Structure formats: C-alpha cells, structure tokens
Amino acid sequence: MQFELTKEFLDSLREFIKQDNKIAVKEQLSELHPADIAEIIEELDVEESNYVLLLVDHDTAADALAELDDEDRSHLIKSLPLATIATRIVMNMDSDDAADIIGLFDEDEQQEILSYVHDIEQASDIVDLLNYDEDSAGGLMGKEFVMVNENWSVLTCLRELSRQAEDIDEIYYVYVVDDDTKLKGTLSLKRMILSPTSAKIINIYNKDIVSVTVDEKREDVALIMEKYDLVAMPVTDSIGRVVGRITIDDVVDVIREEAEKDYQLASGISQDVDISDSIMVQTRARLPWLIIGLVGGLLDAFIISNHEADIKLSPMMAFFIPLITAMGGNVGIQSSAIVVQGLANNSLGYESTFKKVLREFGRSVIISSICSILLLGFSLWFFNSLALTLSAIIALFIVIIFASIFGTLIPLALDKFNIDPALATGPFITMSNDIIGLFIYLSVGSIIFSALA
C-alpha cells in the first residue's frame, strides 16, 4: 500500500522525537520505503532529520539521503560529523551517490571523509568519479557493474559473476570485454544459464551495444537511453575501456532537473531556485528579466507617445492595442515552445533552417488568415470605421506571421550559440513581440488613416 504523508503522522513523529522515544519512532518508520522516509525528512527540521537518520539502519539512511533533492541533502549532510557521513552514509551508497555526497564538501573535508572509508577500492572509485565534470556521463555514472572476459567459459563467467555481484544491488547487464577491458558487447543472463558450462563467452554474447564516453553531455545520455529504451548503459573512456554504467534512475533525475530548469527559464527566472530559498536568492534570480520587462514596457510607452497624434485622430485605435500585443506574444510563445521541444528531444530532424521557417510561415498564414477574418467580422459589427477595421486586420495578419517566424528563429539561433533555447519561450519572446507588434499596428494605422483621410 502506498504511503501518504499526513499532518497527523508528522505531528505524532515529532512528538516521539521530542520525547526521545526511539522505539516508537522506529515502529513508525519500520515499514516505510526509503523514498517515503526522504519525503518525511523534507518536512522535518535539521535536528529532527538527524535524529531519524541516526536511528534507522545504515542502508535505509543512505537510500533515503539519495532520494532527497540536492538542496535538502546538502543542508542535512553538512550538519553531520564527517566520520558519521563516511561510516553511516558513504560506505552504504552506490559510488555515484557517494561521490555526489562527498562533492558537497571542500577538498580538505573530502580527504577526511575518505580517510574513514576502509574499503580502498570503494574510496578509489569515489575519487575517480569526483574528477569528472558533474554535467558529463562520467559525473553521472556509477562504478557498480559486472564485467566478464570474452575468452572465458560460461562456468568461469558464472563464478566471477557470483563474486562481483556481492556489492551490486541490481544487475541489468553483464558487459563483455577483451583482455584490455575494451567493451565488446553484452551477455544475457538467460543465454548464459541456458548455454553449456564449457561454451566460450565469445560465441554467445551480443555484439550490438549502445554506449557513451565519459565526456558525453548528460542531457545527451538521457536522450540516448530514452531512444533505445535502456535501463542501463555502459560508459567507456576515450579508447573504449569500460569505466562505469549509468542506470535509469540517474537519467530520470536528469530529465526532471532539465524540465525544472527549462520551466524556470521560460518563466523568466535566470537560475535554479526553490521555494525554500532565501529572499535574496529568489530576488536575484527573478529581478533581471523583470528589469528587462520594465525596459520593454518603457519602449512600448515610447512607441505610443510617438503615435500620439494618430491615436488622437482615432481614439478607438487604442481599443485593439491589447489584442495585437497579446496575439503576437501568444503566437510567438507557441512557435518557440514547439521548436524548443523539438530541440530537446531531437525530433526536428536534419532539414535546413530555411525549410523549418518556410513550414512555420505556411502555418502562420493559415492562422493569421482565420484570426483576421474573425476580427474583421467583430470590427464591422461593433465599429463603423473602415480605416480602423483595415488597420486592425492587416496589422494582426502581419504580427502573427512575424511572431511565428521570430518564435521559430530565436530558439534555433540560441541553440546554435549553445545558449539554452528554453530562454526563448518566456519573457524574451513576449516582450519582443509586444514591442514589435505595437509598432506594426500603430504604423499600419497611421498609413491607412492618412490614406483614407
């Protein structure tokens, strides 16, 4: 049965912690999954969280910490003694999670934590992972995997598998390597069990394999695993030697983090923030685009002031200003969102930018035609002004086409310069199209009113 965290449960747990009733706390947590305990910890203060972590068994504590988001984990882990971090947490984690924990500390503290890790091989794996860029496959991978030599017999392979599997929670694939540990393929556990014990691995393994190198971007790793429906993928060094594996749970974290980052960028938030962050951190993240938006509003006011005489001649022109700017912003966001999504999942294909823009132009002509016809009917029904009607429908037609093309080109251009294209789906597109749409509308109106005067 799925656990549901309630206020009553939290209040009861807090009361038991306050009373130092270890037996009662253990009873409440005994049947829970580490992810449920992590959910509980997120609602507790640091002192209460430490109480829980030090009370549950080592494996549960390590697994619960691995489930926490980076910020909560950082606050909590830094409140514990370094020796406790090593013996209760790091030594009971997979190498990739352990490296993430140790990476939160400065170099001297890292050395001290590692000095408490008695398993030299585990400590060496962690040190190796700390040397990789956290945004690369090397920084994402773990060192727990099963590797067999292509020249071994099935019997030798089974014995080695039994030995290597002692320190691995889940075995997704058995990786086959040559004498230089260069990756050759994978071996199915079913194929291994059904084959004669004297059979050579070289004759039964699968040579078709998808892998990445240590310097592959983690976003690309996620796309590759999604494309080929992989639950785990080997990581190799520059000459093809197996150095680690990436599992699906790591990739899910990457996808979630990227989605959160893109959503915040699209909302005009310039850095990763959380609701629990300080006022200054949130202000620093939100203020830049708000200031830019303020500048955009001033430009709108400047454009209107330059056409003040035209608006005085026909005050009803002001009626359509919100409509024109809103339509431009909305259409631009729609176009850019489609392109950003395509860039994110590599579904845009390899056609030229010209063809992408041409296709978007065709769509925008249809959309702008329909919207302009609807506006024509509204304007003729409510306003007895041919000049105003023509100004509104012509400007709307032009603005929608421009906004569609602009919304397509901007994310493509940002991607070309290695800038996150999600930036194009937020205030940037809205503000730009507001300014340009307003300019187009007032300019068209000025020309038409002058011609029909």
Per-residue pLDDT reduced to its tens digit, 236-267: 999 999 999 999 888 888 887 776 666 666 66
Say what the pLDDT of residue 336 is: 83
* DSSP bridge pairs for 77: none
Q: Which two structure tokens, joined as six digits, stand for 81?
A: 């003694």
Which of 19, 85, 93 shows the shortest CA–CA distance to 53? 85
Q: Which of 74-83, 383-392, 414-423, 442-451 has the lowest mean pLDDT?
A: 414-423
Q: Output the pLDDT for position 373.
A: 94
In this prediction, residue 266 carries a pLDDT of 61
Q: Identify the burial level of 280 via C-beta atoms within 10 angstroms of its C-beta, where 0-12 means exposed, 13-18 middle and 19 or more buried.
A: exposed
The answer on pLDDT for 279 being more than 70 is yes
Average pLDDT, the chain: 86
Above 60 in pLDDT, residue 95?
yes
pLDDT, tens digit, for every residue of 22-43?
Answer: 999 999 998 899 999 999 998 8
pLDDT band at 413 (very low <50, low <70, confident <90, very high): confident
Q: Please, what are the domains in the chain? A: 7-135 (1.25.60.10), 146-248 (3.10.580.10), 279-452 (1.10.357.20)
Cβ–Cβ under 8 Å, residues 171 and 159: no
Q: Which residue has the higher pLDDT, 322 or 172?
A: 322
In this predicted model, which residue has the larger pLDDT, 280 or 50?
50
pLDDT tens-digit readout, 55-68 = 999 889 888 988 88
What are the φ and ψ backbone dihedral angles of 434, each rounded to 5 degrees? -60, -50
Calpha distance 276→369 (Å, rounded): 47
Please give the pLDDT value at position 263: 63
Distance CA(269)–CA(361), nearest Å, equals 30
Residue with the bigger pLDDT between 419 and 156: it is 156
Is the separation of the CB atoms in 441 and 402 below 8 Å?
no
pLDDT tier, 423 (very low <50, low <70, confident <90, very high otherwise): low
Q: What is the pLDDT of residue 200?
A: 93
